[in-house]
């Protein structure tokens, strides 16, 4: 996607149904990722480069997006201004370390305003202070490099964050496993499938506690037979 050349700030975001957001918040990104299906699940999952600043972080809320010129963080301040309680800031400068996009002062204001987390495709600084604040932040880099505030900038426009397409209002879900972006029209699907999957895993755990073998619970024996893979009752040395 080509970044916008003309600066623009949209103050309104098409947010998803709060009841649906609350249902999604009950699950980790693993269940929701699987709930999206193989293709959409992979397209919506950010890479392992997007890591939590502190352990145990969780986030679930609609995206407020901010596109920043490399070395500049003007857009994040406009995003902070337009965001509402329950939102997740999603910031990018293309992923470079030039000019920290996020720090503890912005974090303090975001927490005060009721935002629930920030996802940074670029650099975060003041990491120790952010950890003390207890505000959830994910980032692809850490750098204290000074940012300008001149633009160009765009707020609440579609952006690409860590190779994932994000539109304002998409559901951002994060935990220690990473960040997942769920398009608004797929939230119901992801949540419904996650609920089904979670119930199935409860049953799996019950059967494991009762002494069953996971290999058999998951039907791996039939899968291996269908694939024509031999199970030999000997060592590889004996089979040479």
- The residue whose two tokens read 């002062």 is 105
Residue 64 marked in a binding site: no
Residue 85 marked in a binding site: no
Confidence bin at 230 (pLDDT 50/70/90): confident
Alpha-carbon distances of 12 from 135, 139, 165, rounded to whole Å: 24, 25, 19
Confidence bin at 5 (pLDDT 50/70/90): low
Residue 35 marked in a binding site: no
Structural domain span for residue 70: 8-192
Residue 106 marked in a binding site: yes
- The residue whose two tokens read 């305003």 is 113
- pLDDT for 164 equals 97
Structural domain includes residue 167: yes
- pLDDT for 78 equals 94
Q: Mean pLDDT, the chain, as a whole number?
A: 92
Structural domain includes residue 203: no
Structural domain includes residue 212: no
pLDDT tens per residue across span 159-217: 999 999 999 999 999 999 999 999 999 999 999 999 998 888 888 888 888 888 888 88
Structural domain includes residue 103: yes
Tokens of 35: 């709930």
Residue 125 marked in a binding site: yes
Confidence bin at 1 (pLDDT 50/70/90): very low
CATH number at residue 135: 3.50.30.40
Structural domain includes residue 215: no
Mean of the pLDDT values across residues 13-26? 96
Question: Per the structure, how many domains does the chain have?
Answer: 1
Structural domain includes residue 238: no
Structural domain includes residue 217: no
Structural domain includes residue 233: no
Phi and psi, residue 223, nearest 5°: -60, -45
Residue 177 marked in a binding site: no
């Amino acid at each position: 996607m080509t970044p916008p050349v003309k600066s623009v700030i949209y103050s309104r975001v098409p947010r998803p149904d709060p009841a649906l957001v609350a249902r999604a918040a009950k699950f980790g990104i693993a269940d929701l990722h699987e709930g999206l299906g193989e293709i959409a699940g992979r397209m919506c999952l950010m890479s392992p480069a997007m890591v939590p600043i502190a352990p145990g972080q969780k986030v679930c809320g609609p995206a407020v997006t901010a596109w920043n010129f490399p070395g500049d963080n003007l857009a994040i301040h406009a995003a902070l201004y337009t965001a509402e309680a329950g939102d997740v800031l999603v910031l990018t400068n293309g992923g470079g370390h030039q000019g920290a996009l996020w720090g503890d002062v912005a974090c303090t204001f975001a927490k005060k305003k009721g935002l629930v987390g920030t996802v940074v495709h670029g650099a975060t600084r003041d990491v120790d202070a952010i950890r003390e604040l207890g505000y959830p932040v994910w980032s692809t880099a850490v750098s204290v490099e000074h940012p300008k505030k001149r633009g160009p900038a765009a707020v609440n426009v579609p952006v690409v964050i860590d190779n994932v397409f994000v539109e304002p209002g998409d559901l951002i879900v994060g935990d220690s496993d990473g960040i997942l972006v769920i398009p608004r029209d797929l939230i119901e699907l992801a949540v419904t499938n996650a609920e089904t999957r979670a119930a199935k895993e409860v049953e799996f755990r019950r059967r494991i506690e009762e002494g069953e073998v996971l290999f058999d619970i998951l039907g791996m024996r039939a899968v291996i037979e269908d694939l024509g893979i031999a199970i030999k009752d000997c060592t590889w040395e004996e089979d040479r």
